[in-house]
Amino acid sequence: MPRPARDVGASPFIKWVGGKRSLLEQLRPHLPPTYGRLFEPFVGGGALFFDQRPKRATLGDNNARLIATYRGLRDATDEVIRLLKSYRYDRDDFLAMRARAIDAESDPAIAAWFIYLNKTGYNGLYRVNSRNGFNVPFGSYKNPAICDEPTLRACAAALRRTDLVAGDFELVTRKARKGDLVYFDPPYVPLSATSSFTGYTADGFDSHDQLRLRDAARALAARGVHVLLSNSSAPAVVNLYREEFDIVQLRARRSINSNIEGRSAIVELLMKSRTF
Ligand SMILES: C[S@@+](CC[C@H](N)C(=O)[O-])C[C@H]1O[C@@H](n2cnc3c(N)ncnc32)[C@H](O)[C@@H]1O
Ligand 1 binding pocket includes 11 (Cβ within 6 Å)? no
Residues 187-243: pLDDT tens digits? 999 887 665 566 666 668 999 999 999 999 999 999 999 999 999 999 999 999 999
The answer, yes or no, to whether residue 261 has pLDDT greater than 80, is no
How many angstroms separate the first and last alpha carbons of the chain?
Answer: 42
Pocket residue to mutate for ligand 1, from 42, 63, 70, 201, most atoms within 8 A of Cβ: 42
C-beta separation of 85 from 108 below 8 A: no
Residue 205 beta carbon below 6 angstroms from any ligand 1 atom: yes
Residue range 128-170, pLDDT digits in tens: 998 999 999 999 999 999 999 999 999 999 999 999 999 999 9
Taking only the tens place, the pLDDT of each residue in 16-63 is 998 999 999 999 999 999 999 999 999 999 999 999 999 999 999 999
* 18 three-class SS: coil
Residue 109: half-sphere exposure toward Cβ, Cα within 13 Å: 9
User: Does 183 lie in the same domain as 265?
Assistant: yes
Q: Give the Å distance between the CA of 188 and the centre of ligand 1.
A: 10
Q: Is the pLDDT of residue 96 over 80?
A: yes
Same domain, 169 and 241: yes
Ligand 1 pocket check for 170: Cβ under 6 Å? no
Residue 201's pLDDT is 63
- Does residue 48 lie in a domain region? yes
Using a 6 Å cutoff on CB, does residue 65 contact ligand 1?
Answer: no
Same domain, 137 and 228: no
Amino acid (1-letter code) at residue 159: L
The CATH number covering residue 149 comes to 1.10.1020.10
- CB 153 near ligand 1, within 6 Å: no
Same domain for 238 and 130, yes or no, is no
Residue 125 domain boundaries: 83-158
**Cα of 42 from ligand 1 centre, angstroms:** 4
103 residue type, one letter: D
**pLDDT tier for residue 1 given thresholds of 50, 70 and 90:** very low
Domain boundary among 158, 185, 203: 158
Higher local confidence (pLDDT), 3 or 99: 99
Q: 228 with 31: CB under 8 angstroms?
A: yes
Contact 118, 94 (CB under 8 A): no
What is the reported pLDDT for 248? Answer: 97
Rounded Cα gap, residues 53 and 161, in angstroms: 10
CATH code, domain carrying 235: 3.40.50.150
Higher local confidence (pLDDT), 187 or 8: 187
pLDDT in tens, 177-203: 999 999 999 999 988 766 556 666 666
Establish whether residue 19 lines the binding site of ligand 1, counting it when its CB lies within 6 angstroms of any ligand atom: yes
The strand pairing partners of 40, in sequence order, are: 59
Is the domain of 136 the same as that of 115? yes
Pairwise pLDDT comparison (224 vs 264), residue with the higher score: 224
- 4: pLDDT confidence band, cut at 50, 70 and 90? very low
Which residue has better confidence, 22 or 256?
A: 22
Question: How many A from CA of 63 to the centre of ligand 1?
Answer: 8
Question: Does residue 11 sit in the same domain as residue 145?
Answer: no
Residue 135 has φ and ψ, to the nearest 5°, of -130, 30
Q: What is the pLDDT of residue 199?
A: 61
Overall domain count for the chain: 2
